[in-house]
Amino acid sequence: GPDKLKQQHIAWVANSWNIYFDKPCHFEDTVQLATWAHKFDRVFAHRNCSITNADGELCLRADSLWFLMDLEKKIPAHEKGTGGTL
């Protein structure tokens, strides 16, 4: 969790986002947000998210690439203190 990352001086940093707007959401619409990681590769994590409206229609999709940063050295971390899993 965030406290463990802070103790180890590492953080996940967003590198890039691809966002696809499929249908507009309107003010005061009820929406459902979802996010999930789908691939880990050394210091990188790929994460998707979506927003659907109350009718179950997909409004937004996004995929993002994150990397693990060593906050002391200001360089990508290599599974520092993660027990080999990210």
Q: Per-residue confidence of the chain (86 residues) as pLDDT tens digits?
A: 889 989 999 999 999 999 999 999 989 999 999 999 999 887 889 999 999 999 999 999 999 999 999 999 999 887 544 444 44
Distance CA 86, CA 46 (A): 11
16 CB burial (10 A radius; 0-12, 13-18, 19+): exposed
Per-residue tokens: 3: 């406290």
The three-state secondary structure class of 82 is coil
Classify the phi-psi angles of 79: left when phi > 0, otherwise alpha if psi is within -120 to 50, otherwise beta. Answer: left
Read off the pTM: 0.70
pLDDT score at 79: 58
Half-sphere exposure of 60 (CA within 13 A, CB side): 17
